[in-house]
Amino acid sequence: MIQKRRQEGRMAEWNEEQEKKVYTQTFLGLVQSVAAAGMAQLGKLANPITGKVERDLEQAQSSIAMLEMLKKKTEGNLDTDETTVLDTVLTNLRLNFVDEATKDDLSKGQETEKDKEEAKEKDDSSEQG
């Protein structure tokens, strides 16, 4: 009887360990999946469906927000590895988002300067004509 209880106790421990491993793998898979979608939305990876590099900063921002929410909701319940992966993925996505948003700002600034130059040229030519 005692031996049977010990076996059941070991089996329960083994099941808990296995369950924890499965949950960790599933959690990390979810984080990596959202991260890959975010990188594709940032134009850093090809869209797996179309094979094309596409950028959608609004969608990328949603992916980042989803991971931030996941971090907040799981706070205190993650092990060290899970926390490290989630923090690393968030930092990577945020930095790449800033990089892409800055590119947009710079190109808009260049377009504005170009528009100003073209407008000035038109004014100059109309004054001469």
Q: Which residues pair with 33 in a beta bridge?
A: none
Instruction: State the pairing for strand pair 53-55/42-46.
Output: antiparallel
Which range among 44-48, 74-78, 108-112, 118-122 has the greatest average pLDDT? 74-78
- The model carries a pTM of 0.72
Number of structural domains found in the chain:
1
- Do the Cβ atoms of 97 and 58 come closer than 8 Å? no
User: Within 13 Å of residue 53, how many CA atoms lie on the same side as its CB?
Assistant: 5
C-alpha distance from residue 114 to each of 103, 118, 124 (Å): 16, 6, 15
Provide the residue range defining the domain that includes 106: 2-128
Q: What is the CATH number of the domain that holds 91?
A: 1.20.58
Interval 48-94: pLDDT, tens: 888 999 999 999 999 999 999 999 999 999 999 999 999 999 999 99
Which helix (H) or strand (E) covers residue 55, if one does? strand 53-55
